[in-house]
Chain A
Amino acid sequence: MVFLTTQLWLRNRLTDRYWRIQEVLKHARHFRGRKNRCYRLAVRAVVRAFVKCTKARRLKKRNLRTLWINRITAASQEHGVRYPVFIGNLVKCQVELNRKVLADLAIYEPKTFKSLAALAKRRREEGFAAALGEGKEPEGIFSRVVHYH
């Protein structure tokens, strides 16, 4: 004879349900409304929050670059230079400053930014003189570049 009654009394019961739901709710405590209290709503909100957190890492780079470009545009417009002119002529003068540094300079070092805008303007004029003067104008001073070979 095989006794089966004893084994039938053993049941697998979930004992740490409380801690499993607390693991999810702790990430939802700063949410608004019932999603910070009720597990069923909190699960969906927490998953969406994590997904947005990962996707935002790519967006942050784009948003910050747009912000820098807007700030540089505003600052260069005050000196009478448009953004594409400013950036293009700075690159031609081999001033390899990125947009983050240019935006910080525009906010905190206004005199430096003014001189950079003047440099861009002057390089632009020298570029026009070289293109339209057909060799009769002397070479521009700020058009000289260093060749790294």
Chain B
Amino acid sequence: MTARGTSSRFLASVLHNGLGRYVQQLQRLSLSLSRDGPSSRGAREFVERDVTDFARRNPGVVIYVNPRRCSVPKVVAEYVNGAVREENIQGKSAEEIATLVQKLADQSGLDVIRIRKPFHTDNPSIQGGPTVPILAASLKPERLQGFTEPLFSEIQVEM
């Protein structure tokens, strides 16, 4: 609940370049439901009606449907960066499962935790960032001779 008690991350894209936006990040979708069993009724309807359309709309996703004897139907989504998300679809209707599956397909595999800042940039400074003379007020004049290079030229800084 506290900021230090819960995990957090900085805003980032999947490979820190722009490719993650044009490649669907969902790799695999595994549905496990039961043939009989009232809790997977919505899952069965989803499999009968909507799963083939979903598969045609998202050709990059591999969908596994496993009918097995389970009391709790689940959908497991695996992403390109290795993240695995498991959702319980017990007692949900087919429409709710369809929206849930669509949400999983739209997500990238990054963790759903608090994002510290809503912005991120690899190049926070256009004009070269602070140079040593900015700190000149705290340094004595004799020590400044010979310092001309900027401070932040090679360091990656979170903005």
Contacts and interface: CB of A to CB of B under 8 A. Distances in A.
Q: Do A and B come from one complex?
A: yes
Interface of A: 27, 30, 49-50, 52-53, 74-75, 77-78, 104, 107-112
Interface stretch (B40-48, B72-80, B95-103, B119-127): B119-127
Contact of A75 (B1, B127, B129, B134): B134
5 contacts: A27-B2, A107-B125, A108-B129, A108-B159, A110-B127
Nearest to B136: A78
A49 B128 CA distance: 41
Given A108-B124, A109-B127, A78 B134 contact: yes
A19 B47 CA distance: 37
Given A27-B1, A110-B134, 5 more contacts: A30-B5, A53-B1, A107-B129, A108-B127, A110-B131
Counting chain B CB atoms within 10 Å of each CB, the highest count among A74, A104, A109, A112 belongs to: A109
Contacts, number: 42
Contacts of B4: 30
B135 to A, nearest CB: 9
A111 B126 CA distance: 10
A74 B138 CA distance: 10
Interface in B126-148: 126-131, 134, 136-137
A22 to B, nearest CB: 14
A50 B130 contact: no
Interface residues of B, number: 17
Given A27-B1, A53-B1, A112 B134 contact: no
A77 B137 contact: yes
Contacts of A49: 1-2, 5
Given A77-B137, A108-B124, A109-B126, A53 B131 contact: no
Given A75-B134, A78-B136, A110-B134, A50 B2 contact: yes
A30 B5 CA distance: 7
Nearest to A50: B1
B98 to A, nearest CB: 34
A110 B130 contact: yes
Contact of B2 (A53, A77, A110, A111): A53
